[in-house]
Structures are given as C-alpha cells and as structure tokens.
Chains A and B, each alone.
Chain A
Amino acid sequence: MRKFLLLITLLTYLPTFAQVGIGTTSPDTDLHVAGSMLVQKEFNINQLDTVASTDEDFKLLTRIKNSSPVGEISKLDVDNLTVAPINLVNYRFHNLLGDNLTDVNLQLDTDKYIVGIANFRYIGDAVQKLILPGDDGFGNFVLRVFESGGEWHLEIGNRFLDPLIGGTVEYQLTLIIYDKSYYRKLDPIFTDMNGSNTGVASSIPDIN
C-alpha cells in the first residue's frame, strides 16, 4: 500500500511527458480527445500551418453563436446554406411596357444584403432617338439598384425614349447578393465637384 501511495503521489506531481488520451486508451497525438471539447476562454494555436498551393475545396470555419453549448466551430458549407456570403441569381424580365422597368421590388432586405448587377443584357428592339422633330438626344439610359422602404429595387430603361410601337425588349442580368455579415456597407461619400470634371474624395472611409 505504501508503494501504491508513493506511485499515486509521484504520478500526481510528475508532468505528463507522454501522449494523453481522453476517452481513448490509444491516443494518436499528444492529446487525443475521443469526443467533443469545450474551451471556455481563449484557444491559441502556436503552430498553424498555411494553406498549400495544391489545396482545393477547403472550407471556411465559422463559430456558431446559437449552438448548445455556445460557440460550436463548424465548416461553412454554402451548398447546404439557404443564403451564402455571396449569392448569384440570374434574372430575366420580359413582357415589358416598351423598354420601361421603372421599379421592380426585389424583396431583398437592405438590412441584410447588398446587391450588385453583372452580366447585363439588353435583348430586343432599339429605342428611338427622336422624341420631337429636331431633338436627337440619346435620352438617359438607367441601370441601377436602389433602396426603398427597406428593400432593394431595380430600375432599367431609357427614361425618355421608347422603342417603336410593337417593339419588344427583355432584360437579363445577374444579381450579386452579398450578405452583410461578410460585406460591409459604408456611409455614402458626397463630394462637391464645383462644376469640374476632376475631383478629390471629400472623405475616405475608415477601413483600416
């Protein structure tokens, strides 16, 4: 019994210079936890290797705030998410009134998303230059998304000119829908150009 106690005492005091298994008797690494692990405070990794140039199909790690227990580290699997950080949707708008798409509510929440336009296609008949005899203006072709009532809206078309009666136009484009958790919306930057065509930004965003 004395030897047994001595052994216990020595083991208690000796630092462990062997592989340790938790939930396993055959650890594969210096510490091997055959189960889950909860760290209540900081988690530091001193030797963290870097992605190799040959690596592909790796996944971003995220921390889940509403898991139980809180803080589950999980892979971001965009294929199984309904909304990814960046989402691409092709739209086709047809059966237009002339070329006019004045206001389409995309029903995308401006609190959650930022929307951009790519791959724009104007398919169909041209708008006509003449509005009044002697007026050869090009009108004003607009292609934009804008915020209204907390949702993103879309405007496409020449605000002043139209195709000939009976002409048809359709639009196709790709909307890039960025989730605001990953894509920051900065404040607008207003610059008085003083009638000039050159200028300098009045302020720069603080993004350092």
Chain B
Amino acid sequence: MVLIQVWHQVFQISIKMVRIILYIVTFLTGYLAFAQVGINTSTPSAMLEVNGDTKLDKKLYLEDPGDNLEIRGAKLLIERSDNSIVQYDIDKSKYGPINYAKLVFENTSKNGITDYDTKISTTDYIVGIQGYYFRGYSDGNTSIVSQSSVSTNDIEGFQVYAYKNLVTNTWFIRAFVNNSIFRRTDNANITVNIYMNVFIFRTGFISKEIPSLDIDMGLLPIKTASKPTGF
C-alpha cells in the first residue's frame, strides 16, 4: 500500500523528484526482503515458501531446526547416490543398517559345522554370531551334550563364529566344539539342529570394521589392552 500511495504522488510532482522517488522505491523494494517470500505461491506460510523443487549447489545449514524427543514416528534422512535427499524406510529399503537373521542348521553332523557359505558379501556386510544353541535333529531332544575325544575329564571350548572367506569374498560360518562330537545323554549317535542368532551390519552406513588387535597376555591374567585405532 505504501508503494501505491507513493506511485499516485508521482503524478503530482516534477520530474526532478523522480530520482528521489526512485531511491525510495528501491529502498522499499529492499525492505520487502524482511517480509515473507513465496516462490510459486502468493500466500507463503513461512519466511520462505518454495512451492516446487529446490536445488542447492553447496551446503545447507540449519541453525535451529528443533529437537525430536520421540524415538518412534520419525524417519531418518538419507542422501542417495544421485544426491537427492529422501527418507529412510526400513520396510522398503533393500537392507537395514543392522539386520538380524536366525540361522537354523538342520540335520548337522555330530562334528558340527566346519564350513558353511552364507553367500553374504564381505564387501557390503559384517557378519557375526551372538548366540546359539543346539538340540537333536530327529526328535528335538534337548538333552544333547558334547563329548571330548581326548579325555572324559576334558571340558572343551566352543567355537561358533563367522569369518571371511578371501576366495569367495563371502562370510562363512563355523560351529563346533574342540575335539568333540555331539551326542545324546544315552550315548546315541545323532545329528543335531544348530540354531544361531546372526547379525548382519551393512558397511559404509553406520557400521565399520576397525583393524584387529593382537594382545599378548605375557602369562598373566590381568592386562591393559591397547585401544582400537581411532578410539
């Protein structure tokens, strides 16, 4: 409105005033930058409303975007390889940041599993075993023990783990008891089902591998280990 009033006055004044008026208009035009701006909308609902797509060639800074106080009801934001920003939906995505699978090895040899190819890429994922149990294959018998072939006095150690096969570049799994077989408490020769909780972390998203550490305990039970790289 101010500008329209200014415009009407233009008819009344001499041409010498035009330059002054022009300054005023220029000033007011600049002043409008402190009002709301709409692009493709005449009713902006924020300081800047873009009714359409926005492309930003460099960085975006959000000085005070507010905090999210709820765990649920929010989606993570991700940038795709074409630089577009989208929301992450674990139900639609090819993979989760963290994936879990229960692996069931049925009718396994009494010697356990010495080589099992998960076919999961070692480039894209990190695989690990966090828990396991076993029971009889034919009858689901839970009274399964492991017995050392060395001595009846031996309590042998378990090895249930995932490792990288450097030829296939896939994760392999082993699950066995050292020098032992699985058997039933009545000494029956059996096969077993082995159940495993397996985590599958996607690399390059929120997980990474840190170089391995080799700790020489120096025949002592107490030791301070060196820190992993970067910690």
Q: At the interface, yes or no: B134 with Cβ under 8 Å from chain A?
A: no
Once the chains are docked, how many angstroms separate the CA of A16 from the CA of B28?
17
Say whether B212 contacts A51, CB under 8 Å.
no
The smallest beta-carbon distance between B225 and chain A, in angstroms, is 5
Say whether B79 contacts A92, CB under 8 Å.
no
Q: At the interface, yes or no: A8 with Cβ under 8 Å from chain B?
A: yes
Q: At the interface, yes or no: A193 with Cβ under 8 Å from chain B?
A: no
> In the complex, what residues of B have CB within 8 A of residue A38's CB?
61, 63
Say whether A161 contacts B155, CB under 8 Å.
yes
Say whether B71 contacts A39, CB under 8 Å.
no
Measured CB to CB, the nearest residue on chain B to A8 is: B25
Say whether A30 contacts B208, CB under 8 Å.
no
> In the complex, what residues of B have CB within 8 A of residue A119's CB?
128-129, 160-163
Say whether B62 contacts A63, CB under 8 Å.
yes
Q: At the interface, yes or no: A207 with Cβ under 8 Å from chain B?
A: yes
Q: A2-B10, A37-B56, A87-B210 are contacts. A78–B205 as well, Cβ < 8 Å?
A: yes
The total number of A-B Cβ pairs within 8 Å is: 350
Once the chains are docked, how many angstroms separate the CA of A201 from the CA of B2?
70
Number of A residues, CB within 8 Å of B: 118
Once the chains are docked, how many angstroms separate the CA of A81 from the CA of B230?
9
Once the chains are docked, how many angstroms separate the CA of A118 from the CA of B163?
12
Q: At the interface, yes or no: A142 with Cβ under 8 Å from chain B?
A: no
> In the complex, what residues of A have CB within 8 A of residue B40's CB?
15-18, 30
> In the complex, what residues of A have CB within 8 A of residue B88's CB?
50-51, 58, 60
Q: Please encode chain B, from 177 to 212, with 1 for each CB lying within 8 Å of some chain A CB and 0 for all others.
A: 011000000000000000000010101111111111
- Taking A37-B61, A118-B129 as known contacts, 17 extra A-B pairs with beta carbons closer than 8 A to each other, sorted by chain A number, are A6-B7, A12-B3, A23-B57, A31-B55, A48-B87, A51-B92, A52-B92, A81-B230, A84-B208, A104-B223, A105-B224, A113-B231, A117-B130, A119-B129, A128-B154, A129-B153, A174-B161
- Interfacial residues, chain B to chain A (CB-CB below 8 A): 3-4, 7, 10, 15, 18, 21-22, 25-26, 28-29, 32, 38-42, 46-47, 50-66, 71-72, 76-81, 84-89, 92-95, 97-98, 126, 128-130, 148, 150-163, 178-179, 199, 201, 203-231
The 3 closest A-B pairs by CB, nearest first: A122-B157, A30-B52, A82-B230
Q: Write 20 A-B pairs (CB below 8 A) sorted by A numbering.
A: A1-B18, A8-B26, A39-B65, A55-B93, A56-B95, A58-B78, A60-B88, A61-B77, A67-B61, A73-B60, A79-B208, A86-B206, A87-B209, A89-B213, A90-B212, A103-B221, A119-B162, A120-B160, A126-B157, A127-B154
